[in-house]
Amino acid sequence: MSNLPAHARAVVIGCGIVGNSVAYHLCRLGWREVVLIDKGPLPNPGGSTGHASNFIYLVDHSKEMTALTVESVNQYKEMGVFTQSGGIEVARTKERMQELSRRMSSAASWGIEPVSLISPAEVKDLVPFINETILLGGFYTPGVGVVDSLRAGTIMRERAQASGALQVVAKTEVVALDVERGHVRCVRTTTGEIETDTVVITCGVWSPRLARMAGTRIPLTPAVHQMIDVGPVPRFSGAKGDIEVPIVRDMDTNMYERQAGGDLEIGSYAHRPILYDPEDIPPIERAALSPTEFPFTQPDFELQMQHALELVPEIVGDERVGVKYAINGILSLTPDGMPVLGESPDVGGLWSAAAVWVKEGPGTGKALAEWMVHGSSEIDLHSSDIARFHEHQRTRAHVRARAAEGFNKTYGIVHPSEQWASNRNVRLAPFHERERELGAAFFEAAGWERPMWYESNASLLEEFGDRLTHRTAEWESRWWSPIINAEHLAMRERAGLFDLSAFTIFDIKGPGALPAVQRVTLRQMDVPTGRNVYTPVLSHNGGFKSDLTIMRLGDDHFRVVTGGASGMSDKKWFSDHLPADGSAQLFDLTSGMATLGLWGPRARDILMSATDDDVSSEGFKFGTCRTIDVGTVRVLASRISYVGDLGWELYVSIDQGLRLWDMLWEAGKPFGLAACGIGVYGTTGRLEKSYRAHGNELETEYNVVEAGMQAPRVKSEDFVGKEAHLRHREEAPATILCTLTVDDHTSKSGEKRYMLGREPVLTRDGHAITDRRGRRSYVTSAGAGPSVGKHILMSYLPPEHAVLGNGLAVQYMGERYPITAAVVGATPLFDPENIRIRS
């Protein structure tokens, strides 16, 4: 007999920590007739929540992840299921000590307090059974703790049930999801069906299987995390609670040790990646333990025993202490290490909250519910957006390759520019062979291989020798080359040729195209054909959803050009806002088009010598675009610049891209054209012009006025975020985006150090800076400014600090460096009159 309702406002599938919290927050935000369903029994239906180690560290280098974690801890505390224990990330190596000082910086940037770097003796005081003699120190976070995630799930479920908004159905398995005309309509289960327009997949490691039922994908893979439990530990006999001693993360060995009542739990991310498919997970009735507790594979744990013995010999070396329990626990890994949240780009009404761990569960549930109910969440979720994946990134092979590569970096020291090694060379620009010949150092963007710099430009080092900074510290010279700065100067003095093929490009066409693009853009799109417009795209709360460029190519034809990283979620955003009557359509051109950038004072000379079309200052004005002939190649040229120099973006069909490169290269020789990498485009050229970047300066947590990007007037047409934007224009901004320069790079050791971004901005005497909305000031972008001779930082500063010439400090690798506010607002350091760009 079925107790399923016939209809539901939403069906949440999966009763782990995530499903319970999504359901609870949906009901809290006012949704009724929500159904929460699981194939397993309650309170532990057998997923990863049931075997989680349940401890929560607060500091992550990712702002988004830290925000979700902090919100989760607040909720766990409110529910009374959080036991504060403190936690110490210990270092065995000098490299790790440096990493721990980076964690101090991230803690300050994201406002996690208190935290401290402590000595081995202090570690020993806190964790008396540790062998401090092998340690160099530790990063101590007193706010770390352990939660009862099953209890938390039950509390949230019961609260929602008590409000009458939620119905819970256990031991009922979903067998099909019906999709009609691109939208989910019905959930079929072993005990009946529920009609609904909204389904949330919160099925953890099973999520890909559910997504497939609806004909789409959730790119994650089940993977093993090994855990053993040893006891009884004589020292813990008589323990009153679950945990009384700080949790230790042995970062250099990818392991953790935590008290669990009278026992010690030892976990590892050090073993070989062991990946599964959802189909490998047994049905509940066939599982010896829980379905997600696989048989322990002892050979994978041999080295880890040695490491645990080194760190906690008193317990692990005690012959009386036995291994009571050992599992290969199954958890979710994604290709980029972030969760998979949001509405499917393929199926309307089908939402995902997957690859979410216990530490960020309730915060994620709240954020997703806000997104579903209000259209956007308070915490910016762009790094977790399910729509972020490009097609190849959703293939099983890619997911497995990157998950395997990322697994052993769980506690790793990951450089902010670190490149993936697996599944490379997926998308190649037509110029790829030429770039290879020039010694390109390829970095990946959205699967595209992009030159970051060219080794063949090493000859420029001599030419610009006295104007280049050389980084001696290993950390900031990793994934970097002084050639970037030399290419920058060559571009500023002569001209540079850039491969910009990683752009995501799509057309909006049809009689409804103009209102469609107006609806999602801040700037006026009703411009003459042949104009290009750079515009923010706002979220409902008036924050930055994206920023991009739109060319008007005809009355009913707009071409959107946006970054590879945000391209797919931008595409979904535009698609979602197309008119329901079909009067405008979106066409993705990304894989059919290649893009070159040609900039520098000699850019016009070069283009002139390659084309018969009029590209003179008068004949081809800044802010316009049109198709020109370059030899036999038809090229859409757009006069715009992200590096602050005269020039064009040149769009060409992939098949003729190589020919265009060769012609420009030939034409450029007499003018000293240099191939330039993305190091110039994305960092040095951009920062000298104080151009903002999405994901750095531009996030939903900041608004247009704060970013200094408000236009004199707001267009009369309605657009997403308009109401909030009008309100922001009336308010005094809580913070203002500024450009700062570093006054002195000299560290205590005398070595010059160069910040890379995300570091805390402090007062000169070392105090954190917080705006009236509680946001910390931190470096949103950092990089060299070779033409201005300064290392440039960008940061939001509250009005009292956003004062030209104001002296502040940045904390980097455990030391403070003096910095000065060089620009308040959008005026750039280099060529503030924009003479070059308009020349």
Residues 618 and 608: their CA atoms lie apart, in Å, by: 13
Q: State which of residues 230, 525, 578, 607 lies at the interface with other proteins (CB under 8 A).
A: 230
Q: Which of 29, 170, 284, 373 binds other proteins (CB under 8 A)?
A: 284
Q: Is 331 a binder of other proteins (CB under 8 A)?
A: no
Q: Which of residues 304 and 811 has its CB atom nearest to other proteins in the complex?
A: 304
Instruction: Determine, following the binding rule CB under 8 A, whether residue 627 of this chain makes contact with other proteins.
Output: no
Q: Is residue 669 within the footprint of other proteins (CB under 8 A)?
A: no
| Tokens representing residue 350 in the block | 């089908």
Q: Closer CB to other proteins, residue 284 or residue 461?
A: 284
Q: How far apart, in whole angstroms, are the C-alpha atoms of residue 338 and residue 188?
A: 30
* Cis omega (within 30 of 0) for bond into 828: no
Is 474 a binding residue for other proteins by CB under 8 A? The answer is no
129 binds other proteins (CB under 8 A): no
* 302 lies in the binding site for other proteins (CB under 8 A): yes
Per-residue burial over 384-413, b if 16 or more Cβ lie within 10 Å, else e, is bbbbbbbeebbbeebbbbbbbbbbeebbeb
Determine if 321 is a binding residue for other proteins (CB under 8 A).
yes
Find all residues with CB under 8 Å of 395, minimum gap 6, and list them.
Answer: none
Region from 190-198, 319-327, 611-619, 669-677 binding other proteins, contact rule CB under 8 A = 319-327
Q: How many Cα atoms are found within 13 Å in the side-chain-facing hemisphere of 275?
A: 20
Q: Taking Cα atoms as reference points, which of 88, 67, 182 lies closest to residue 138? A: 88
Give the range of 309-317, 624-632, 716-724, 813-821 binding other proteins by CB under 8 A: 309-317
Closest CA to 159 of 83, 70, 81: 81
Nearer to other proteins, 211 or 230 (CB): 230
Identify the active-site residue in 51, 225, 728, 791.
225
Of the candidates 150, 172, 159, 149, the one whose C-alpha atom is nearest the C-alpha of residue 12 is 172
305 scored as a contact of other proteins (CB under 8 A): yes
Residue 681 per-residue DSSP state: I
Closest CA to 577 of 506, 525, 508, 504: 508
Binds other proteins by CB under 8 A, chosen from 240, 286, 713, 767: 286
Contact between 282 and other proteins per CB under 8 A: yes
CB of 320 vs other proteins, minimal distance in Å: 7
- CA dist 782 and 309 (Å) reads 42
Give least dist CB 206 to other proteins, A: 15
Span interacting with other proteins, options 296-304, 510-518, 600-608, 693-701, rule CB under 8 A: 296-304
- Phi, psi at 363, each rounded to 5°: -65, -40
Q: How many residues does the chain have?
A: 839
**Given the residues 24, 76, 140, 256, the one annotated as active site:** 256
Given 117, 170, 287, 413, the residue binding other proteins (CB under 8 A): 287
From candidates 285, 466, 474, 765, binder to other proteins by CB under 8 A: 285
Cross-strand pairs, 635: 628
Which residues make Cβ contacts (< 8 Å) with residue 310, sequence separation at least 6? 131, 134
Binding piece for other proteins, criterion CB under 8 A, among 316-324, 590-598, 718-726, 766-774: 316-324
Q: Which stretch binds other proteins (CB under 8 A): 102-110, 295-303, 404-412, 662-670?
A: 295-303
Q: Which is nearer to other proteins, 302 or 730 (CB)?
A: 302
Binding window for other proteins (CB under 8 A); candidates: 197-205, 305-313, 368-376, 754-762: 305-313
Asked if residue 320 binds other proteins (CB under 8 A), the reply is yes
Residue among 234, 200, 491 nearest 351 (CA): 200
Residues from 35 through 54 that contact other proteins (CB under 8 A): 41
- Smallest gap from residue 96 Cβ to other proteins (A): 24
Specify the pairing of strand 440-445 against strand 350-354: unpaired
Ramachandran angles phi, psi of 479, nearest 5°: 55, 35
The four Cα atoms 49, 50, 51, 52 give a dihedral, to 10 degrees, of 30
Q: Which two tokens stand for residue 800?
A: 């009292």
Q: How far is the CB of 472 from other proteins (least distance, A)?
A: 43
Closest CA to 496 of 688, 714, 650: 650
* Alpha carbon 598 to chain centroid, angstroms: 29
Residues 646-665 touching other proteins, rule: CB under 8 A, are none
DSSP type of residue 839? -
Taking the complex as a whole, how short is the minimal distance between the CB of residue 283 and other proteins, in angstroms? 8
Q: Which of 32, 212, 324, 470 binds other proteins (CB under 8 A)?
A: 324
Relative to beta strand 34-37, strand 166-169 is parallel
Does position 190 interact with other proteins (CB under 8 A)? The reply is: no
Strands (E), 621-766: 625-630, 633-638, 647-653, 673-676, 736-742, 761-763
Name the residue nearer to other proteins (CB basis): 319 or 833.
319
Binding mask 525-544 for other proteins (x = CB under 8 A): --------------------
What is the spatial order of strands in the sheet that 495-499 belongs to? 625-630, 633-638, 647-653, 593-599, 495-499, 673-676
DSSP 420: P
Binding of residue 717 to other proteins (CB under 8 A):
no
Which one of 284-292, 430-438, 710-718, 773-781 is the stretch in contact with other proteins (CB under 8 A)? 284-292
Burial of 111 (0-12, 13-18, 19+ CB in 10 A): middle
Q: Which is nearer to other proteins, 44 or 106 (CB)?
A: 44
C-beta of 305 vs 461, nearer to other proteins:
305
Shortest Cβ distance from residue 295 to other proteins (Å)? 3
Number of neighbouring beta carbons within 10 Å of residue 631: 17
Q: Which of 29, 136, 170, 323 binds other proteins (CB under 8 A)?
A: 323
Interface residue with other proteins, options 173, 274, 296, 436 (CB under 8 A): 296
- The minimum distance between CB 49 and other proteins, in angstroms, equals 17
**Token pair 């590096």: residue:** 643
The yes or no reply on residue 465 touching other proteins (CB under 8 A) is no
Toward other proteins, which CB reaches closer, 295 or 375?
A: 295
Stretch that binds other proteins, among 118-126, 252-260, 291-299, 426-434 (CB under 8 A): 291-299
Give the interface segment with other proteins, choosing from 88-96, 311-319, 389-397, 535-543 (CB under 8 A). Answer: 311-319
Using CB under 8 A, count the residues that bind other proteins.
Answer: 28
CB crowding 227-257: b at 16 or more within 10 Å, else e: bbbbbbbebbeebeebbebbbbbbbbbbbbb
Q: Which of 10, 184, 200, 316 binds other proteins (CB under 8 A)?
A: 316
DSSP 606-626: HHHHHBSS--STTTS-TTBEE
Choice among 60, 385, 547, 771 that is catalytic? 547
Q: Which is nearer to other proteins, 162 or 309 (CB)?
A: 309
Indicate which single residue of 182, 234, 241, 322 sits in contact with other proteins (rule: CB under 8 A).
322
Judge if the upstream peptide bond of residue 511 is cis by omega within 30 degrees of 0: no
256 classed as catalytic? yes
Residues 6 or more apart from 33 whose CB is under 8 A from it?
A: 5, 7, 8, 9, 10, 165, 167
Q: Name which of 805, 793, 799, 802 is nearest 760 in CA terms.
A: 793
> Of 284 and 473, which CB lies nearer to other proteins in the complex structure?
284
Which listed residue (308, 452, 594, 596) binds other proteins by CB under 8 A?
Answer: 308
CB of 227 to other proteins, least distance (A): 14
In the complex with other proteins, the residue whose CB is nearer, 308 or 779, is 308
Task: Note the residues at the interface with other proteins (CB under 8 A).
Answer: 41, 230, 280, 282, 284-289, 294-296, 298, 302, 305-306, 308-309, 316-324
Active site (catalytic) residues: 225, 256, 547
